[in-house]
């Protein structure tokens, strides 16, 4: 039986250098060293663009060794989008451009033009064959559940499958779920027994394609694969086998007759089908699959019959992801028009998939990964618009395609998106003229329920090595007590009623804002003046609250060479004694460092990860690490409080607490007249 292997290694744009260095020493280097020492092992390899860039800079000898293996005929390198985007989430022409550029890069290392493509997160849509037409790609890697979902029997997926779209053919290799869950988590003898059983059954080939990080990065796998010799034992067993013939993936595609044509629905691997659904439906999907398992249905068939959602659902689950995705898509036009190579590279980096979604890894829950994509977007936009000479740029449109109008101002010094139909709040705020580059401050990730939250309280610390799709441990005790959910997005300058009349940062933090009725714009009752050739834009809106309060709110945006100034006017009307609040959510990446701090009035600065309160007319938020300062000045004293916004989420290392940002709440009680007016000046500049 022919056996083809394909190992995919990737690190996201924006990951910490020490994380990559550890992954290199624990995984990438020892894997390559073992591969070099087993001259009968032949495999496909895929290294993503972000990882290749890092390797070229930090360990250029690694790429030389890789080239040597390719020249010997033992390694086939696969292509992809350059910076590991989900291809179907891009404009088709832009996706082809990324593939062509990355194929050029791969050809320079491997000496041959790649014909295979590692499909990012195995996100398949029926249009993929047309998207890849003309790129030189002859086959892509998917999961076996993909082709089973097309109607094939499990025994038929042990060979390439042929599909097409609009007459453009494409072959697919379906990675065995059985092998994905066995390697490296079962004894080598068990893996070999399974392969030899398939050989005795007369199957012509088997294909295994999965993440390289499971050979050293995933918890416990460094010790298992290298210290205890699991991978060396597997390579030795495969090399010594007379029944198994190791073939490169491209060789198998050419030599083994394909089944087809088959037509696969839009889907990814089985686990993503669960993750991309709302958590209640994700749980039901797992229950359904468990029931199917009790009936003896093969796991890969379960994934095909009950595939769940697909990748684009994450753009619904996480509006912050959708907002970035749509702004990146819009930036493609100016970038293409500018013909700026640097703008194009920054735009491609902003399309790296990892921070757009969440599964078993942190993904969108990791602020440094989100920040990296926003920064790349801003760098792309600045390069492009400077080349075009059309800054500042003001756009009024449904920017995120949610059915509501947004207004975005992009200048050489700042970017801000106003959401007039959602309480005249701000969904995006960034300083672009800082000495250290763009500083994204908003959005802050809203805390949402995830299906695994019910398991956090019972999580312990597992011994041994298990697949990361099994039960997880917790990185600290009593994490379940920190779980809180927000019933609406965490915007900047969003007003609400503090329902219980109290004002305490701990209470605000625990409440998760779910108890607080929010002021929302009355339908069609907002206006804009200025902008474009008419000077700085200004907005006004009439808002109401379910508790019988009304708000007249005005917002002005004032561009400056050193940043941005915002003026805000509020006039609240309602029952005397009602406590109203305006909340400013900001992300400074961490809450524990002293150079990310807040000062209320004349008080000393404290890290934004702490709670605090006071009565004053001024607050100063300082991000001295990235180089940005926001000052808030009121025309009167008011109650102010701040508290950290923390999520409880999972990563490959277990359940963990992650600082998503902090909330500064400005609050006051309506006087006996039932009317309260307030004015604020907010100034965003670079740090001195």
Active-site residue set? 121, 211
User: Are the C-beta atoms of 632 and 666 separated by less than 8 Å?
Assistant: yes
What is the distance between the alpha carbons of residues 104 and 206, in angstroms, rounded to a whole number?
A: 29
611 and 646 Cβ atoms separated by less than 8 Å: no
Dist. CA 29–CA 16, nearest whole Å: 18
- A 10 A CB-CB count for 624 gives 16
User: 161, 174 in Cβ contact below 8 A?
Assistant: yes
Q: Say if residues 249 and 117 touch (Cβ distance below 8 Å).
A: no
Cα–Cα separations (whole angstroms), residue 665 to 489, 594, 632: 15, 21, 11
- Give the integer Cα–Cα distance in Å for 81 and 222: 29
Element (H, E) at 659: strand 654-669
Indicate the DSSP class of residue 214: G
| Tokens coding 308 | 């769940």
Query: Do residues 99 and 132 make contact, with C-beta atoms less than 8 angstroms apart?
Result: yes
Cβ atoms 561, 669 nearer than 8 A: no
Distance between CA atoms of residues 682 and 574, nearest Å: 26
Q: Hey, CA dihedral for 481, 487, 489, 491, is it positive or negative?
A: negative
Give CA–CA dist 55/77, Å, rounded.
15
The answer to whether 398 touches 406, Cβ cutoff 8 Å, is yes
Q: Are 614 and 600 in contact (CB under 8 A)?
A: yes
The residues with which 397 forms a beta bridge, in sequence order, are: 406
Q: What distances in angstroms separate CA 156 from CA 144, 173, 258, 462, one per listed residue?
A: 10, 12, 10, 37
Q: Is 207 helix (H, G, I), strand (E, B) or coil?
A: strand
Question: Sign of the C-alpha dihedral, residues 357, 360, 363, 366?
Answer: positive
Nearest in space to 622 (alpha carbons), one of 641, 599, 638: 599
What is the rounded CA–CA span in Å between residue 82 and residue 345?
9
For every residue of 511-576, which 3-state class applies, written as one string? HCCCCCCECEEEEEEEEEECCHHHCCCEEEEEEECCCCCEEEEEEEEEEECCEEEEEEEEEEECCC
Peptide bond preceding 443 in cis form (omega within 30 of 0): yes
The upper half-sphere exposure of residue 89, i.e. CA atoms within 13 Å in the direction of its Cβ, equals 30
In the 8-state DSSP scheme, what is residue 336? H
């Amino acid at each position: 039986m022919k056996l083809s292997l394909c190992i995919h290694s990737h690190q996201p744009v924006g990951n910490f250098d020490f994380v990559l260095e550890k992954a290199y020493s624990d995984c990438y280097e020892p894997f390559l060293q073992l591969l070099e020492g087993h001259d009968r092992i032949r495999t496909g390899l895929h290294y993503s663009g972000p990882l290749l860039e890092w390797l070229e800079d930090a360990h250029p000898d690694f790429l030389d060794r890789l080239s040597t293996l390719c020249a010997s005929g033992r390694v086939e390198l696969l292509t992809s989008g350059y910076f590991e985007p989900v291809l179907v989430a891009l404009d088709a022409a832009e996706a082809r451009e990324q593939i062509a550029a990355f194929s050029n890069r791969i050809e320079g290392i491997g000496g041959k033009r790649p014909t295979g493509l590692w499909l990012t997160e195995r996100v398949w849509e029926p249009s993929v064959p047309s998207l890849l037409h003309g790129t030189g790609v002859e086959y892509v890697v998917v999961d076996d559940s993909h082709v089973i979902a097309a109607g094939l029997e499990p025994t038929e997926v042990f060979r390439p499958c042929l599909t097409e779209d609009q007459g453009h053919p494409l072959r697919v290799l379906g990675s065995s779920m059985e092998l994905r869950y066995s390697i490296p988590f079962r004894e080598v003898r068990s893996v070999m027994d399974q392969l030899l059983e398939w050989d005795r059954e007369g199957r012509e080939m088997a294909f295994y394609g999965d993440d390289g990080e499971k050979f050293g990065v995933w918890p416990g796998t460094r010790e298992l694969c290298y210290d205890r010799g699991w991978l060396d034992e597997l390579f030795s067993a495969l090399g010594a086998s007379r029944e198994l013939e190791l073939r490169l993936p491209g060789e198998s595609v050419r030599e083994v007759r394909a089944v087809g044509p088959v037509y696969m629905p839009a889907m990814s691997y089985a686990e993503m089908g669960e993750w991309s659904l709302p958590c209640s439906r994700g749980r039901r999907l797992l229950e359904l699959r468990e029931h199917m398992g009790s009936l003896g249905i093969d796991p890969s068939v379960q994934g095909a019959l009950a595939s769940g959602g697909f990748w684009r659902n994450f753009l619904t689950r996480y509006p912050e992801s959708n907002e970035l995705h749509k702004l990146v898509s819009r930036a493609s036009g100016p970038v293409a028009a500018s013909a700026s190579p640097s703008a194009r590279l920054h735009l491609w980096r902003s399309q790296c998939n990892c921070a757009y979604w969440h599964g078993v890894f942190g993904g969108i829950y990791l602020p440094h990964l989100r920040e990296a994509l926003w920064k790349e977007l801003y760098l792309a936009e600045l390069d492009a618009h400077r080349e075009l000479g059309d800054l500042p740029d003001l756009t009024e449109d449904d920017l995120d395609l949610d059915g509501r109008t947004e207004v975005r101002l992009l200048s050489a010094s700042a970017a801000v998106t106003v959401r007039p139909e959602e309480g005249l709040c701000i969904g995006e705020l960034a300083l672009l003229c800082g000495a250290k580059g763009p500083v994204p401050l908003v959005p802050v990730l809203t805390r949402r329920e995830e299906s695994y939250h019910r398991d956090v309280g019972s999580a312990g610390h597992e011994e041994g090595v298990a697949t990361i799709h099994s039960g997880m441990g917790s990185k600290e005790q009593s994490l379940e007590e920190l779980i809180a959910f927000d019933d609406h997005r965490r915007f900047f300058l969003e007003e609400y009623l503090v329902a219980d009349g109290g004002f305490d940062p701990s209470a605000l933090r625990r409440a998760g804002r779910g108890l607080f009725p929010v002021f929302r714009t009355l339908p069609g009752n907002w206006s804009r003046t200025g902008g474009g050739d008419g000077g700085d834009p200004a907005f006004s809106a009439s808002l109401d609250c379910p508790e019988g309060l009304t708000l007249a709110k005005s917002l002005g945006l004032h561009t400056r060479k050193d940043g941005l100034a915002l003026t805000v006017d509020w006039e609240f009307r309602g029952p005397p004694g009602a406590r109203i609040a305006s909340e400013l959510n900001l992300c400074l990446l961490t809450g524990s460092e002293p150079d990310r701090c807040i000062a209320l009035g004349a008080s000393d600065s404290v890290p934004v990860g702490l709670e605090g309160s006071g009565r004053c007319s001024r607050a100063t938020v300082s991000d001295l690490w990235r180089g940005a300062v926001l000052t808030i000045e009121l025309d009167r004293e008011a109650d102010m409080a701040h508290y950290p916004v923390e999520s409880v989420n999972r990563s490959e290392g277990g359940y963990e607490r992650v600082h998503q940002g902090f909330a500064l709440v400005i609050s006051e009680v309506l006087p006996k007249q039932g009317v309260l007016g307030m004015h604020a000046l907010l100034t965003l500049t670079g740090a001195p």
